Amino acid sequence: MQCAKCGSLMEKVLYESIEADRCLECKGLWLDAKVVQALIHMQGSELVDSGDRSIGKLMNEKREIYCPLCGVLMNHLADPDNPDVEYEKCPSCNGMFLDAGELSSLKGESFLNFVKKFKEN
């Protein structure tokens, strides 16, 4: 899979039984919809988010990205409880792209609420 943001290759990363794709360059994370659900129950899953937050902030400026699976334009969304966290969600497959550092930011008290909202979007 190629990174939706910078076009570099992504590698599979595994945390417990959860598989995600992480970009070799910008360390952005691709999560499919099922993986987002699974993360609810996982403590420490932010370990897969090993990227540099400052690079993630730069990559966050790139808003028009296309789903690596479907090729459709992804929606740029922000989480009201975590204004720093803006992410892209595919309107077709519900996959999610997180820039480096964003998963860690989401893994707070509001994460459950976030995932609930994510499902309802």
Is residue 4 part of the contact set for Zn ion (CB under 5 A)?
no
Is residue 22 part of the contact set for Zn ion (CB under 5 A)?
no
Q: Which is nearer to Zn ion, 2 or 80 (CB)?
A: 2
Cα dihedral 100→104→105→106 (10° resolution)? 110
Q: Which is nearer to Zn ion, 81 or 86 (CB)?
A: 86
Binding to Zn ion in span 53-112, by CB under 5 A: 67, 69-70, 90, 92-93, 95
Q: Which own/partner pairs from 58-62 qualify as long-range (CB within 8 Å, at least 24 positions apart)?
A: 59/5, 59/6, 59/26, 59/28, 59/99, 59/100, 60/86, 60/99, 60/102, 62/5, 62/6
Contacting residues toward Zn ion, per CB under 5 A: 3, 5-6, 8, 23, 25-26, 28, 67, 69-70, 90, 92-93, 95
